[in-house]
Amino acid sequence: MTGAPVAFGVPADGGNLQTSSTGKPITAVTILTDGSGDAQVFYKLPNVVHTTGSIAVVAGTATQTVNEYSDGGGDDYLSPFAPSDIVGTFNSDGSEAITWQNNDNISPIYVYLMVTSGSWVVTGTLAAGTTSFTTSPAHAGMTEIGNNYSPGGSTGAHPGGGTWPGPGDTHWGGTGGNRK
């Protein structure tokens, strides 16, 4: 529908909206849909690392909240679709049972193995929706879990050619910080 009003708004301390990439920062605006029925605004997150900003969108009687996430200042974005709440438990045979919250039922789960300090390779691909994996004793403590939304995606390579932190950095899907 062309010309339908769509209202966008953010909290006063929740970043800014703009009607163009160089527009004046505002916290609320109503845009009319274009010939394709689309309405667009630009959103700038607040200058706070690892924060979530919410954009309220109202079109007619429909209301939707869109969340955007900031990084830690080093292009290390936390995707809401990457596995989270990752916990590793060492078993009596030396293996490690890893469980996680699955936040995307479409992307396969990748098992990453640290081959050198900070270098990772994908050693396995699990079905989308999987929430657990058990490593061999040889790989216990050296395994990370991710999906297409995790840094490295299906390759294990850190974006931008850098290296991942070592095991235990749960930010990247590691299990060391939550081992039992």
Domains of the chain: which residue ranges? Answer: 5-69, 84-178
Q: How far is CA 102 from CA 57, 59, 108, in A?
A: 27, 31, 10
- Which residues make Cβ contacts (< 8 Å) with residue 38, sequence separation at least 6? none
Question: Which pLDDT belongs to residue 29?
Answer: 94
Token pair in block for residue 74:
């080093």
The C-alpha angle 72, 74, 80, rounded to 5 degrees, equals: 50
At 176, phi and psi to the nearest 5?
Answer: -60, -40
Question: Which pLDDT belongs to residue 67?
Answer: 74
In the chain, the percentage of residues whose pLDDT exceeds 70 is 74
The HSE-up count of residue 154 (CA atoms within 13 Å, CB side) is: 7
Mean pLDDT, range 122-140, rounded to an integer: 89
pLDDT at 78 > cutoff 70:
no
Is pTM beyond 0.85? Reply is no
Mean pLDDT, range 52-66, rounded to an integer: 86
CATH number of 84-178: 2.60.40
pLDDT, tens only, 153-170? 555 554 433 344 444 333
Of 4-18, 39-53, 112-126, give the range with the top mean pLDDT: 4-18
Length of the chain: 180
For residues 27 and 138, give the distance between their C-alpha atoms in angstroms, rounded to a whole number. Answer: 53
Tell me the sheet residues that pair with 101: 84
Please tell me what DSSP assigns to residue 78: -
